[in-house]
Structure 1
Amino acid sequence: MNSIRQRLLFWQIGALIITCILVSVLTYQLAWQAFNRERDFAMEQIAHSVVRHGVRPRSWPATPPPAPEAASDLGRFISQIWSPQGEILYSSINRIGPPLQLAGFHEVDWSGESWHIYTLVDAQQIVQVAKTSSDRTSGFAELVPWLLVPTGLLVVVLGALIHAAVSRVLVPLDSLGRDIQRRDEKDLHPVPTQNLPEELTPLAQALNQLLGRVGGLLTRQRQVLADAAHELNTPLAAVKLQAQLARRSDDVHRKAALDELDKGIERSTHLVAQLLQMARLEPDVHQRHPRPVRCDQLAAEVVGAFSARAEACGIDLGLETSDAATVCMDPEDFRVLLNNLVDNALRHTPLGSRVDIRVRQTGSTVTLTVSDNGPGIAPAERFRALQRFVRLNPQDTTGSGLGLAIVAQIAEHYQGSIALADSPDGGLAVMVHLPAHPGHAGATVRS
């Protein structure tokens, strides 16, 4: 039973029925006690009436008539008068009847039945009144249906009112469900929350937040697809053009055309790789496995991986004296982050420059710095440099405008941040701040 309406009705009507049963049992007990008190009072009044008015004693027949079977001729009520000495003076039946009892009420078995007896002791006589218990029970049984009818009506009426109330209360929830059901995949505007009950307002607000995130995600995806299509169009067009030139050129110019073709292929490959990196960073696309990572050790591995390319570009790439700092993140994410920083520095640093990597730990923060002595980035342009597909130099055809954006996205995922500043040598210093792994102190490691 997964329906809220059915659950509410089940529990409310169930509670109503249980309450009515308890009330009925209590009412039955109270009514039975009141009924007995009333019948006892009636027997007392009969006994006192006999004492006040008296009954002339009659002679008991010498030979009483034969006793009837099962007291069928005794009636359901017997009155008797006894002398103080215990001699029967009067009986409403043709034989003695129930035996004499002490003063007060008694339950006595006589003649195969249970009798309720009241005995009144007077100075001159003893009056005893008896009535069968079954007669009393049958008399009360006639009243029981009239006790149950109001309870049944109460259950029916309140059940109908509860059903109507529950249906009315759930109208806003049904309306909210119909509103969402009518929407298509493009309709992501927030659901109205002005007239919603207080219990539904948090749900609607959470739903609006989700719709906002989904809308933002779709917008970013559409923008990325549009930018990716635009960015891929340029190198692919250049590749096609250079392939045509190589096909038509003589041997002298063919090598230059093939060199340009290689550059276009390299740029396209680099762009596709960075697009894959960005796609991998989207939520729920790739399952990450964070664990303690030594930043200085991974930095040394990245320097070794880029050393041949740096040497070919005439750039001095090195790892400065660093701290043995540890962060908790997916090693692949850290490698992608550092690869993009180094790749970005090598692409925008001229021949004969220097690129340095340094790891420092200050308290609970690890700072990874990649600095160069190249042209740098003006302070006014640094915010734009962190956005996707932004190339500050339109004439630069080597980059894609994604490197720093990928770094910023990775740092944000691990509660870190990125900052751009001037390096001591006048170039650009990119600093990535990440939370240090608890329990790992940063010792200095010389490289």
Structure 2
Amino acid sequence: MFSKRSIRRRFLLQLIVASAALVLLFSSSLYLFIKQSIYDEKQADLVRTAQNICTSKSLISSQQNNPELLLGLNVELITLHKEENLLEFYETPKENKRTDLTLVYPFDFEHSTYLKVSRDITSTKLLLKKILRSIFLINAFGFIVIILYAIAFSKMLIAPVSALSRRLANMNEHLLRPIAVEHLPEEFEPLGETLNRLMGRIQNFVKYQKELFIGAAHELKTPLAVIKLKNQVTLIKKRSPEEYIEAIRITNQSVDEMNKIVANILNIGRQEGAQLEMPSEADIIKVLKKWEGDFTLLANSENKHLQTHFEPESFSAVLQVTLLNQILQNFLQNALKFTPEGRTIIFQSSLDGNNIIIEVIDEGCGIDDTVDLFAPFMRQGSKSGVGLGLFLAKSAAEAIGAQITLTNRNDGFEGTIAKLILPSKLYCLLPTR
């Protein structure tokens, strides 16, 4: 019915064992309680009978008000050397499966005589057996009901997971659809949201990977075509040494451009490896101040000014610091590249509720809002570059559960605002010891 790895199978097996133990314990406890109650009543009757006999010195006079107590009763006077206050009960099996309950009760201490009062409890023993069978039959029926309910209940609990599993099993990278979280039970909403985020990342990954392959082929094709054309022109006729040197120089420039493209593609592979690094706790403000020191020197060397302001004094987060550094490096490099000489770059952080917002604001040419600048090999402006920096930054942000945006300034200045939002609860795995 269920495989060995089935959650329902383990749940039902554990429930069957626990229910069987509970039924056995309950049945035994109930039977022992009923048996002890009946035996206590029988023993109390024998004690009252013995007390009446000792008081009235006559069996008949002691029982004249309740003659039914004489049925099955046997009284003997015996001599024993026992303690004065001794009361002793024991059962005595007789012929024909008869059982007597016997009481030894002190009668005359001076002559060491005791009353031996016995009563036939065969009917009581048979009644107890019927009670025991009835208890186990009732509890066995209850056990079956529990198992049937457990099967139905486990099926109800596993239904949302089974539905999610079937839906995910029928998906591929071309047919990814978000899960309707509002239709899931409340306990499964976090799972649905996590799966939606994962599917969103997979869709972006597939989309950008396709664009990356197409872009890489296109970007490499152009310098290769230039190299081939120059070589063909060079081979048409003999040329002077200077002309050969110039042709080789142009060829080397094309090779350098291809090397840049290959280097950036390798950076993508390195970043995917960095996403598998174990996250660690880091002070974000300390990381920002490190980049402040490095880019202040670069900005000064290009006659540009880097203005910084960091709030709060510290902000701890668990994440891959390598990925955070890639994002910050890209933001600062782009701001430094597009900001003209004598202008200012603002590097700042602030709190937004429990989240921290990191911004790099330049005074460059701004961006075209209709263009997806996070796509691979997407370039804007007249500055040189391969066009993979923002693609890498976007991938790194998604890996650490952060969000990045690019917008134009709206404070009367021309330029771009690169924003990184680090939530207080990142979606990366916590390190385990």
Q: Which residue of 2 aligns with 1:320?
A: 305
Letter in 1 for 2:303: G
Q: Which residue of 2 aligns with 1:131?
A: 118
Residue 158 in 1 paired to residue 142 in 2? yes
2:201 counterpart (175, 188, 213): 213
Q: Which residue of 1 aligns with 2:33?
A: 29
Task: Tell me how far apart the structure 2 counterparts of residues 422 and 254 of structure 1 sit (CA, whole Å).
Answer: 53
SS of residue in 1 equivalent to 2:118: strand
1:415-434 matched pairs, under 5 angstroms: 417-421=405-409, 429-432=415-418
Q: Cα distance 1:385–1:207, how it changes in 2: closer, same or farther (>3 A)?
A: closer
Residue 251 in 1 paired to residue 239 in 2? yes
Contact 2:406/2:416, CA 8 A, preserved across alignment? yes
Residue 338 in 1 paired to residue 332 in 2? yes
How many equivalent pairs are there?
361
Q: Which residue of 2 aligns with 1:61?
A: none
Task: Report how far residue 179 of structure 1 moved.
Answer: 5.1
Q: Cα distance 1:254–1:180, how it changes in 2: closer, same or farther (>3 A)?
A: same
Task: Report how far residue 13 of structure 1 moved.
Answer: 3.7
Q: Cα distance 1:8–1:38, how it changes in 2: closer, same or farther (>3 A)?
A: same
1:384-423 matched pairs, under 5 angstroms: 384=371, 386-388=373-375, 389-392=377-380, 399-403=385-389, 406=392, 417-421=405-409
2:213 counterpart (225, 233, 239): 225
1:235 counterpart (196, 215, 223): 223
Q: Which residue of 2 aligns with 1:270?
A: 260
Q: Cα distance 1:217–1:185, how it changes in 2: closer, same or farther (>3 A)?
A: closer
Contact 2:299/2:305, CA 8 A, preserved across alignment? no
Q: Which residue of 1 aligns with 2:88?
A: 107
Contact 2:306/2:347, CA 8 A, preserved across alignment? no
- Deviations for 1:387-418, whole angstroms, at most 9, x for unmatched residues? 4233457xx79544445555676688666654
- Bigger radius of gyration: 1
- Deviations for 1:249-272, whole angstroms, at most 9, x for unmatched residues? 542554443343233223322333
Q: Cα distance 1:356–1:246, how it changes in 2: closer, same or farther (>3 A)?
A: farther
Q: Cα distance 1:31–1:251, how it changes in 2: closer, same or farther (>3 A)?
A: same
SS of residue in 2 equivalent to 1:188: coil
TM-score by length of structure 1 reads 0.59
- Deviations for 1:30-77, whole angstroms, at most 9, x for unmatched residues? 3332244257548978979833899xxxxxxxxxxxxxxxxxxxxx96
Q: Which residue of 1 aligns with 2:78?
A: 97
Task: Report how far residue 130 of structure 1 moved.
Answer: 1.0
Contact 2:330/2:390, CA 8 A, preserved across alignment? no
Identify the range of structure 1 (240-249 vs 406-415) with the bigger mean alpha-carbon deviation. Answer: 406-415
Task: Report how far residue 429 of structure 1 moved.
Answer: 3.4
Identify the range of structure 1 (157-166 vs 281-290) with the bigger mean alpha-carbon deviation. Answer: 281-290
Task: Report how far residue 160 of structure 1 moved.
Answer: 3.2
Q: Which residue of 1 aligns with 2:427?
A: none
SS of residue in 1 equivalent to 2:206: helix
Contact 2:103/2:117, CA 8 A, preserved across alignment? yes
Q: Which residue of 2 aligns with 1:79?
A: 75
Contact 2:296/2:305, CA 8 A, preserved across alignment? no
SS of residue in 1 equivalent to 2:78: coil
Task: Tell me how far apart the structure 2 counterparts of residues 185 and 409 of structure 1 sit (CA, whole Å).
Answer: 18
Contact 1:267/1:399, CA 8 A, preserved across alignment? no
Q: Cα distance 1:354–1:199, how it changes in 2: closer, same or farther (>3 A)?
A: closer
TM-score by length of structure 2 reads 0.60
Q: Cα distance 1:391–1:178, how it changes in 2: closer, same or farther (>3 A)?
A: closer
Residue 148 in 1 paired to residue 129 in 2? no
Residue 4 in 1 paired to residue 7 in 2? yes
1:362-377 matched pairs, under 5 angstroms: 368-371=360-363, 376=365
Q: Cα distance 1:38–1:324, how it changes in 2: closer, same or farther (>3 A)?
A: closer
- Deviations for 1:358-385, whole angstroms, at most 9, x for unmatched residues? 455576677545546xxx35x6x24527
Task: Report how far residue 18 of structure 1 moved.
Answer: 4.4
Gaps of 5+ in 2: 65-71, 93-99, 108-113, 316-320, 352-356, 423-433
Letter in 1 for 2:338: A
Q: Cα distance 1:387–1:43, how it changes in 2: closer, same or farther (>3 A)?
A: closer
* RMSD of aligned alpha carbons: 5.3
Task: Report how far residue 208 of structure 1 moved.
Answer: 4.0
